[in-house]
Amino acid sequence: MPSGPVLAFSQESTMSNSNELIEIGFSPAQLSLLRTSVEAYREMMSSATSADRDALGHAWADAEVAACDVLLQTQLKDITPHTPLGGNEPPSQSDGAQGSPLREPTIAFLAMLNQADSVTVNQQLLQHWETSDVVANDGNQVVRFSWYSEGVNFAVTLTEDGIANGRWHNGFFICVDSEGDTLEIQLAKHTAITPPSGA
C-alpha cells in the first residue's frame, strides 16, 4: 500500500474492454512537482504558437488543456506548487541558496526539456544540449545550450535560480541566463509527416 497521499486514475483495459482504477502513492514533494509540471504543460499547450498544437490540431491541444484543468481543480487542487523537495516546511531565510525553495520548478523544467526533440533559444533552433543535476544551489549551472553560426561558437547556460525564477508566456519560457541576459526558450516535440490515407 502507498505510504503517502494517493491519486486515483482510470485507465482503459485492453484485455477486458473496460476501465480499471489505478491508485498511485506520492510523497508531498512529488505531488508538488506533479502540480508544477501540469501547470507548465497547460501553459505550453494553451499557447497559439505551440508546436504540438500546430502538429496535432487545436482540438487535441484543447483536450490536453481541459485534462490539466480537471487535475488542477480536483486531485491537485489543495497541492501547493514550489515547495522544497525535502518536505512541506519552507527553509529559513538564513538557509540561502543551499536550501532554496525554488528547486522544484527547476526539476519540472528539466523534466520537460528531457522530453523535447528540439529547443529554440532566442530563435536559434537546437537539437542538442547538456544538462547536469539539480543540487539546490541557486548558482549551479544545470543547462548549457551551444551552437555554431557564421564561424563563431555561441553558448548560454542556465542556473537553478534563473530557471526557478523564469515564467511561461505564450508557449515560451522566459528566464535569464548565467550572465543575466533574457532568453526566450521554446520546447518542441516532433511528429512524423505522413501522406493522407489512401495516397
- 132-169 tens-digit pLDDT: 888 878 888 999 999 888 888 889 999 999 999 999 99
The residue whose grid cell reads 485507465 is 11
Q: Give 10-residue mean pLDDT values along the chain (199 residues).
A: 52 56 67 77 74 75 83 76 40 40 81 91 91 85 90 91 91 92 92 77
175 and 158 in contact (C-beta within 8 Å)? yes
The residue whose grid cell reads 515560451 is 172
Predicted pLDDT at 32: 73
Question: Residue 81 to residues 25, 32, 74, 99, 129: CA-CA distances in angstroms?
Answer: 18, 5, 15, 16, 27
- 99-119 tens-digit pLDDT: 455 678 888 899 899 889 999
pTM: 0.52
